């Protein structure tokens, strides 16, 4: 195999076994701080001999759309997932976790079909079926206790029981699992997807953030010690969504729509997923399905809410952010740096949050770090410098190594 074309881009099989880590919610602020305080010496060393840049995430900056952009190398208009969640044509809100929703194959599926062995490990089980589409072997840390590889229970391979999905080290377990599986499965390309439970709960410099980063760094070091080429990228950033008193700043759309006399609107919060303790379904982007007759009134009502940064039509959002038009609503809403979007106060249980609200979804969580352990060709370095997206990481690692 010289190259496999997936979603309009040609990928060379890795020259040496390679790993991409999607560090969920790893805002550039965490790494800047970690590098400044020398918390992460292996990653510092890795980028010294390789590359480090700020890339852009898919908007809305949520987990599922960005994980799929990373593994397909394509925007959401191509892979089909604009959020974690959407309103289906029958009027039901549905989690976008079924592989039937995908409209594009992954780079991993394409390489595997060409005879190149691949492997995927995800922390959150919600991504397992999506990432595994096309027969890609895919395991999750969350359900490792129920899964096995070649007859061996995964937790025996790792040597410790898997933590709960809300534990600080559930992400690290996914990397430990990959470290155990790689010598057995001998994949040429591995993808490891982490969870952002720590980033939702703690700012850069907090004790648990530091602990998370130090252990992440050790594990990246172990991957490098195995001779693997490593890329690290994030699906989205993370920001405090609180006012000066530490309370959440929430723009409640349904209340505003009701006050404006709009009936029959459906506000979809596409951050919604099974892990509500992270974010109480509060993110900085959403869309609204609305009867045409109410559109203007609803638009005005939402645009006037404090902290709402932009309101555009579904058509405009699809064109601007490369989203699948049929899976977003009639109005697309972006909240500002410190604000999230909700429906009405009663619908969000803030008591379950891990701490002061931190979340993502909007434009302010679009910058993400990108780290590559290898020296790049001038062309790949140029692309990275000119502003890559997280969907470019497999291109850079597979095609761009000098």
Site residues (CB under 8 A) for its own copies?
3, 5, 7-10, 56, 74-75, 77-78, 296, 299-300, 303, 307-317, 319-320, 322, 334, 336-337, 362-364, 366, 378-379, 382-383, 385-387, 395
Which is closer to its own copies, CB of 11 or CB of 149?
11
- State the minimum distance, in angstroms, from the CB of residue 312 to its own copies: 5
- State the minimum distance, in angstroms, from the CB of residue 261 to its own copies: 17
Which is closer to its own copies, CB of 41 or CB of 338?
338
- State the minimum distance, in angstroms, from the CB of residue 111 to its own copies: 17
- State the minimum distance, in angstroms, from the CB of residue 9 to its own copies: 5
Q: Which residue has the tokens 């038009």?
A: 325
CA dist 121 and 110 (Å) reads 17
Which is closer to its own copies, CB of 185 or CB of 295?
295
Which is closer to its own copies, CB of 149 or CB of 332?
332
- State the minimum distance, in angstroms, from the CB of residue 322 to its own copies: 5
Task: Give the angle 30-196-242 at the CA atoms, nearest 5°.
Answer: 70
Give 22's strand partners.
193, 233
Which is closer to its own copies, CB of 192 or CB of 357?
357
CB 100 within 8 A of CB 75: no
- State the minimum distance, in angstroms, from the CB of residue 275 to its own copies: 25
CA dist 189 and 181 (Å) reads 12
For residue 200, give the 3-state DSSP assignment. helix
For residue 286, give the 3-state DSSP assignment. strand
Q: Which residue has the tokens 């929703």?
A: 101
CA dist 351 and 342 (Å) reads 15
Distances (CA, A) of 201 to 279, 353, 358: 9, 8, 7
Distances (CA, A) of 146 to 60, 77, 190, 285: 33, 34, 21, 35
Which is closer to its own copies, CB of 54 or CB of 206?
54
Q: How many residues does this entry show for the chain?
A: 402
Which is closer to its own copies, CB of 132 or CB of 400?
400
- State the minimum distance, in angstroms, from the CB of residue 351 to its own copies: 29
């Amino acid at each position: 195999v010289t190259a496999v074309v997936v979603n309009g881009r040609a990928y060379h099989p890795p020259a040496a076994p390679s790993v991409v880590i999607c560090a969920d919610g790893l805002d550039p602020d965490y790494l800047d701080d970690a590098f400044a305080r020398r918390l992460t010496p292996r990653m510092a060393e890795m980028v010294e001999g390789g590359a480090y840049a700020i890339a852009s995430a898919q908007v809305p900056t949520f987990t599922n759309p960005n994980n799929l952009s990373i593994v397909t190398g394509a925007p959401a208009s191509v892979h089909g997932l604009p959020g974690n969640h959407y309103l289906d044509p029958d009027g039901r809100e549905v989690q976008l976790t079924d592989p039937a929703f995908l409209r594009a194959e992954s780079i991993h599926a394409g390489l595997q079909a060409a005879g190149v062995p691949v492997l995927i490990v995800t922390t959150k089980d919600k991504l397992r079926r999506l990432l595994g589409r096309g027969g890609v072997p895919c395991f999750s840390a969350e359900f490792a206790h129920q899964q096995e590889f070649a007859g061996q229970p995964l937790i025996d391979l790792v040597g410790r029981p898997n933590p709960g999905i809300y534990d600080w080290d559930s992400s690290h377990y996914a990397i430990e699992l990959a470290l155990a599986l790689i010598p057995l499965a001998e994949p040429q390309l591995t993808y490891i997807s982490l969870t952002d439970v720590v980033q939702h709960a703690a700012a850069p410099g907090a004790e648990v953030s530091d602990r998370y980063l130090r252990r992440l760094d050790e594990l990246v070091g172990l991957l490098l010690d195995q001779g693997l080429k490593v890329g690290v990228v994030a699906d989205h950033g993370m920001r405090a969504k609180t006012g000066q008193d530490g309370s959440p700043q929430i723009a409640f759309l349904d209340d505003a729509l009701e006050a404006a006399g709009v009936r029959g609107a459906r506000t979809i919060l596409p951050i919604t997923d099974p892990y509500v303790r992270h974010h109480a379904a509060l993110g900085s982007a959403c869309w609204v399905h609305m009867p045409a007759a109410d559109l203007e009134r609803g638009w005005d009502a939402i645009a006037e809410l404090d902290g709402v940064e932009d309101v555009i039509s579904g058509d405009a959002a699809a064109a601007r952010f490369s989203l699948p038009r049929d899976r977003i609503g009639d109005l697309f809403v972006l909240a500002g740096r410190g604000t999230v979007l909700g429906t009405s106060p009663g619908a969000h249980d803030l008591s379950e949050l891990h701490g002061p609200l931190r979340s993502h979804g909007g434009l302010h969580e679009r910058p993400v770090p990108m780290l590559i352990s290898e020296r790049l060709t001038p062309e790949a370095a140029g692309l990275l410098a000119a502003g890559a997206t997280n969907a470019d990481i497999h291109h850079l690692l597979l095609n761009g190594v000098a």
